Amino acid sequence: MIATRLRQRRATTAPVQGTPSRPKVVVVGAGFAGLAAVEELAKFTADVTLVDRHNFATFQPLLYQVATAGLNPGDVAFPIRTVIRSMARTKFEQGELASVDAERKFIVLEDGRTLDYDYLILGVGATANYFGIAGAREYSHAIYTLDEALDVRNHLFRQFEQAVAHGVRDGALTFVVVGGGATGVELAGAIAELAHKALYTDYTSLNPDDVKVILIEQQSRLLEAFHEELSEYARRELRTRGVTVLLEETVEALEPGVILLHSGREIQNGLVLWAAGVAVPAVVGRLGLPTGRGGRLMVGGDLRVIGSEHIFAVGDTALASDLSGNPLPQLAQPAIQGGRHAALQICALAKGETTYPFRYRDKGTMATIGRRAAVAEVGHGIRLSGTPAWLAWLGLHVVTLLGSRNKASVMINWTWHYISWGKGPRVILGG
Ligand SMILES: Cc1cc2nc3c(=O)[nH]c(=O)nc-3n(C[C@H](O)[C@H](O)[C@H](O)COP(=O)(O)OP(=O)(O)OC[C@H]3O[C@@H](n4cnc5c(N)ncnc54)[C@H](O)[C@@H]3O)c2cc1C
């Protein structure tokens, strides 16, 4: 208790001299964190420029459903200009962050444009961590962007079409997911559901027994962040859906069409999905700002980057901690709450007030496995699995989606998916 109070006091800092009452704020990244910051700043007198490399915000938690033809790409993307339409002092610039001049307070975009700031909020999200495993980057797919999700969808359906045309060769219908966390479990469950349902309806000449979905996890259980009971439930449910779960297996290397495991096992495959680890985008390491575990930007209690009075880091990009000093998970809730907090600190500083520390409120964690199967931990030791967890998962995702059109579209798609046993957009785009 005393230690906590001390930590809080240390994180509280004096007002920054010379802060204008109407500061210029640049927010880089229109993800959960950046958008939460912008929404909060819009309530206050600040001139805000939001920057993102895309002109839309991506709802990452449902990307895997785009990849497995459950949802359309437009369901999980929302135009940024629509988000900020009602925010009078907020503008958007599409561009990719290249560098930050912390001394002179401006950022440089890849095309050479510069943007001055009084305060900068960095929330550029995360990307895959390949841990230096040979061939992992080249011969696997990760799903962090809409393009990547569509790439996976194209690849999956090309495998089916090729199998119809030329027969099932060299494990062409073996789909391997690496990483048994929430993303890996969701992907494995969705691919298994898609593969088996699609074969029965659309690819009737293929034998369902030729499809294999393998989930590889190096720990002794899936969903390490959840209670053991829920891990076991997830494993059982995946098995029922035809997924082979390999625990305590480590990936040694990837070669074209083959994944090599530490145990000596080699798996010929048609697709490897990488859900094994999270890193930050390469640009973060080039900003000249202090980084810690996973390359994340080191921040103080108020979420300012260590050593920078005017730069905040939020969401997956930041190495923020809870009050016990444990790093916060790279999930939507810490990003949303962190984004809001950074905005509130800028408001406080502009009013000549002191900053105060970020307190993360854990609202629980969920993961879905497939139709009527999910797990959820919702605080106070309450654990759910099966249909109640699945309904909670569906409800939460619809509520969190941006835009009424997207919410309605996702609900219609899910209902259709449920009734029709998954006849989604099974199309190969781009030839
Ligand atoms: C497949 C998948 C499933 C997930 N499922 C869940 C889940 O079920 N529940 C959950 O809580 N969390 C989930 N997460 C994690 C969650 O999506 C992230 O924690 C959350 O998106 C982090 O928010 P953020 O704002 O930090 O980053 P993001 O939402 O990733 O936003 C970062 C933004 O920065 C932009 N950007 C990146 N680099 C640059 C640059 N150089 N210049 C300009 N802009 C840039 C990107 O375009 C993006 O818009 C999932 C993540 C993935 C990938």
**What's the pLDDT tens digit per position in 113-153?**
999 999 999 999 999 999 999 999 999 999 999 999 999 99
So which residues are the catalytic ones?
186
Query: Based on the domain organization, do 189 and 294 belong to the same domain?
Result: no
- Residue of the CA atom closest to atom 20 of ligand 1: 332
Q: Which of 350, 376, 402 is the last residue of a domain?
A: 350
Give yes or no for residue 54 CB within 6 A of ligand 1: yes
Q: What is the pLDDT of residues 281-322, one digit of tens each?
A: 999 999 999 999 999 999 999 999 999 999 999 999 999 998
Report the separation in Å between the CA atom of 60 and the middle of ligand 1, taken as the mean of its atom positions.
6
pLDDT value of residue 209: 87
Q: Which of 324, 350, 376 is the last residue of a domain?
A: 350
Give yes or no for residue 124 CB within 6 A of ligand 1: yes
What CATH number does the domain containing 288 carry? 3.50.50.60
Query: What is the Cβ-side half-sphere exposure of residue 265, based on CA atoms within 13 angstroms?
Result: 11
Give yes or no for residue 334 CB within 6 A of ligand 1: no
- List phi, psi (to 5°) of 166: -120, 0
pLDDT value of residue 10: 46
What CATH number does the domain containing 400 carry? 3.50.50.100
At a CB cut-off of 8 Å and minimum separation 6, what does 67 contact? 143, 148, 149, 150, 152, 153, 156, 187, 190
pLDDT value of residue 11: 47
Query: Based on the domain organization, do 241 and 374 belong to the same domain?
Result: yes
Give yes or no for residue 51 CB within 6 A of ligand 1: yes
CA distance 110 to 166: 44
Query: Based on the domain organization, do 286 and 404 belong to the same domain?
Result: no
Query: Based on the domain organization, do 19 and 105 belong to the same domain?
Result: yes
pLDDT in tens, the chain (431 residues): 334 443 444 445 655 655 677 899 999 999 999 999 999 999 998 999 999 999 999 999 999 999 999 899 999 999 999 999 999 999 999 999 999 999 999 999 999 999 999 999 999 999 999 999 999 999 999 999 999 999 999 999 999 999 999 999 889 999 999 999 999 999 999 999 988 777 778 899 998 889 999 999 999 999 999 999 999 999 999 999 999 999 999 999 999 999 999 999 999 999 999 999 999 999 999 999 999 999 999 999 999 999 999 999 999 999 999 888 899 999 999 999 999 999 999 999 999 999 999 999 988 899 999 989 999 998 778 999 999 999 998 888 888 887 788 888 888 887 877 777 667 788 898 76
pLDDT value of residue 111: 98
Mind spelling out the 3-state secondary structure of the chain? Answer: CHHHHHHHHHHCCCCCCCCCCCCEEEEECCCHHHHHHHHHHCCCCCEEEEEECCCEEECHHHHHHHHCCCCCHHHHEEEHHHHHCCCCCEEEEECCEEEEECCCCEEEECCCCEEECCEEEECCCCEECCCCCECHHHHCECCCCHHHHHHHHHHHHHHHHHHHHHCCCCCCCEEEEECCCHHHHHHHHHHHHHHHHHHHHCCCCCCHHHCEEEEEECCCCCCCCCCHHHHHHHHHHHHHCCEEEEECCCEEEEECCEEEECCCCEEECCEEEECCCEECCHHHHCCCCCECHHHCEEECCCCEECCCCCEEECHHHEECECCCCCECCCCHHHHHHHHHHHHHHHHHHHCCCCCCCCCCCCCCEEEEEECCEEEEECCCCCEEECHHHHHHHHHHHHHHCCCHHHHHHHHHHHHHHHHHCCCCCCCCCCC
Atom of ligand 1 nearest to the CA of 332: 11
Report the separation in Å between the CA atom of 38 and the middle of ligand 1, taken as the mean of its atom positions.
16
Residue 109, domain member (yes or no): yes
pLDDT value of residue 416: 78
At a CB cut-off of 8 Å and minimum separation 6, what does 423 contact? 201, 416, 417
Give yes or no for residue 331 CB within 6 A of ligand 1: yes
pLDDT value of residue 402: 79
Residue 142, domain member (yes or no): yes
- Residue of the CA atom closest to atom 33 of ligand 1: 29
Report the separation in Å between the CA atom of 123 and the middle of ligand 1, taken as the mean of its atom positions.
9
pLDDT value of residue 413: 80
Give yes or no for residue 107 CB within 6 A of ligand 1: no
Indicate the top mutation candidate among 50, 66, 120, 124 to test ligand 1's pocket, ranked by most ligand atoms within 8 A of CB: 124
Report the separation in Å between the CA atom of 301 and the middle of ligand 1, taken as the mean of its atom positions.
22
Give yes or no for residue 181 CB within 6 A of ligand 1: no
pLDDT value of residue 19: 66
Query: Based on the domain organization, do 270 and 393 belong to the same domain?
Result: yes
Q: Identify whether the C-beta of residue 20 lies closer than 8 Å to the C-beta of residue 350.
A: yes
Query: Based on the domain organization, do 236 and 191 belong to the same domain?
Result: yes
Query: Based on the domain organization, do 184 and 258 belong to the same domain?
Result: yes
Report the separation in Å between the CA atom of 53 and the middle of ligand 1, taken as the mean of its atom positions.
13
Query: Based on the domain organization, do 284 and 262 belong to the same domain?
Result: no
pLDDT value of residue 17: 59
Indicate the top mutation candidate among 60, 120, 178, 358 to test ligand 1's pocket, ranked by most ligand atoms within 8 A of CB: 60
Domains held by the chain: number = 2
Report the separation in Å between the CA atom of 165 and the middle of ligand 1, taken as the mean of its atom positions.
38
For residue 2 the two structure tokens come to 């005393």
Atom of ligand 1 nearest to the CA of 333: 11
- Residue of the CA atom closest to atom 27 of ligand 1: 125
For residue 65 the two structure tokens come to 């459903």
Residue 369, domain member (yes or no): yes
Residue 118 to residues 16, 29, 35, 59, 105: CA-CA distances in angstroms?
11, 17, 19, 29, 7
Residue 358, domain member (yes or no): no
Give yes or no for residue 144 CB within 6 A of ligand 1: yes
* Domain assignment of residue 191, given as a range: 136-278+364-420
